[in-house]
Structure 1
Amino acid sequence: MAVRRIIRLLRFKVEFNYPKSVRFRCVKCGLCCGDTKTKTRHIILLKSEADQISKTMLQPISQFAAKIEGREPYIYEMRKRENGKCVYLENNRCNIYKNRPLICRFYPFELSSYGGKYSFQFTEECSGINKGRILRETYFRKIYNLALAKYRRITESSRRI
C-alpha cells in the first residue's frame, strides 16, 4: 500500500534538505489557489480532508471535489471555477483556511523523496518568495511533521477496516 510506504519513509528518514536562505511571507495574491499561465494546479485531497471540508461547509463532497484514481492516498481533486481558481477562493481569501488541505499548507513548498532522502523545493512563481523572514529548519520540520501525522492517521484507519 502506498500510504504505508510513505509512512515508513517519513518515519525513518527524518533528515531532509531545505532551502537555507529562502524568505517567505504570504502576500494574499491567490496565485497558489488555481491555474496560472504556465501551470495547471491540482489541489488533491485525502479522504479525511474532503470529509472535514464537507462537514465544515455543510456540502456534499461531490459539490467541491471530483473523485480521482492513481494518486493514493489522495482520492479527490478540488473543483475549480471557470477561471481556474479553487471554488473556495473569494477575493483572494480562502474560505476554508482553517481546514485547508495539506497540499495548500505546504505551498509554495513541496517535499520530494529521492533514494530515501527528503528535500524541500519551492516554486519561484509564488509572489511571497523573497519576502518576509528567512525560514528556519523549524518551519520545515513543522510541515514535515504535519504530513507525517496525516499519513499515520490514514494508516491507523486502514488497519481498523
Structure 2
Amino acid sequence: MRGVDELAVEIKEVGFQCTRCGACCSEISEGSNLVIVSPGEVRQVAKAAGLPRDEVAEPYPEFLEGSEGSWYTFDWCLSREGGHCRFLDGEKCRVYAARPWICRTYPFMLEDDRLIVSECPGIGGAMTMEEGRAIARALLARQAAEVAEEEGIRRVLSTTSPPSGESVVVDSEGVWPVHG
C-alpha cells in the first residue's frame, strides 16, 4: 500500500484546482455522474439535506439476475434530477460539508495502488504539497471505506440471499427491497 507522501507527490505532479464548473455533478454521458454512496454516507447526506433516505439515494441502476427471479445490485447512488446531482444548486453543492468520498476526492481515485485521474477542467491546476496530501489522505480513507463496505456486503450475503421474485439492494447493513 502506498503512503500519503508518495501519493501526494503524484497528485501534485498531475495538479488540480476545482473550477466550480459542475461538470462532475452533471451527466455528460450516460451514467457519468453516478455517485456511489455507502449506507453511512446516505445518512450523512440525508441529515445535511433534511431529507428522508429515499429522497437522497436510489439503487445503482445495474442489476444482476439472481436465483428464482430475484434481481440485485450492491450499491446506492445519490439521486439525480434533470441530468444533475439533486444537490447541485447552480455551481454550488447544497450538502458540501457532508459530501461523499467520491465527491471529496474527484477527479482522483485509487484502483488498488494505481492513481486514476478522470477528465476534468481543473486538471493541471497549481496545487500545494499540503493540498496533495489532503487529497491523498482522503483517497486512502475512501479506499479503506470501500473495502469495509465490500466486506460488509459479503457478510450480509453469507447469512441471507435476495428474496425470490424481488429486486433489492444488498449493502453492508442488509437487503433492501426496491419499490417502483
Identity among equivalent pairs (%): 24
Q: 1:26 aligns with which of 18, 21, 32?
A: 18
Structure 2 counterpart SS, 1:120: strand
Structure 1 counterpart SS, 2:80: coil
Aligned to 2:117: 122
Structure 2 counterpart SS, 1:130: coil
Q: 1:14 aligns with which of 2, 8, 17?
A: 2
Q: In the alignment, is residue 146 of structure 1 matched against residue 141 of structure 2?
A: yes
Query: What RMSD over aligned residues (CA atoms) do the two structures have, in Å?
Result: 3.0
Structure 1 counterpart SS, 2:86: coil
Aligned residue identity for 1:29: C
CA contact (8 A) 1:19 1:121 kept: no
What are the superposed Cα offsets for residues 31-67 of structure 1, whole Å, 9 maximum, x if unpaired?
A: 1112115862211110000011112222111112113
Q: 2:125 aligns with which of 112, 131, 142?
A: 131
Aligned residue identity for 1:79: S
1:141, CA displacement in angstroms? 3.0
Q: Which runs of 5+ in 2 are unaligned?
A: 64-71, 156-172, 174-180
CA contact (8 A) 2:109 2:139 kept: no
Give the TM-score normalised by the residue count of structure 1: 0.70
Q: How does 1:36-55 map to 2 (within 5 A)?
A: 36-37=28-29, 40-55=32-47
Aligned residue identity for 1:14: R
| Count of residue pairs the alignment pairs up | 139
Aligned to 1:86: 85
Alpha-carbon separation, structure 1, partners of 2:30 and 2:76: 23
Pair 1:58–1:19, CA change in 2 (3 A): closer
Structure 2 counterpart SS, 1:42: coil
Aligned residue identity for 1:131: G
Q: If you compute each CA radius of gyration, which structure gives the higher value, 1 or 2?
A: 2
What are the superposed Cα offsets for residues 88-124 of structure 1, whole Å, 9 maximum, x if unpaired?
A: 00111001110001111111111112xxxx1111123
Q: Which runs of 5+ in 1 are unaligned?
A: 1-12
Give the TM-score normalised by the residue count of structure 2: 0.64
The one of the two structures with greater contact order (alpha-carbon pairs below 8 A, sep at least 6) is 1
Alpha-carbon separation, structure 2, partners of 1:26 and 1:98: 16
Alpha-carbon separation, structure 2, partners of 1:133 and 1:61: 36
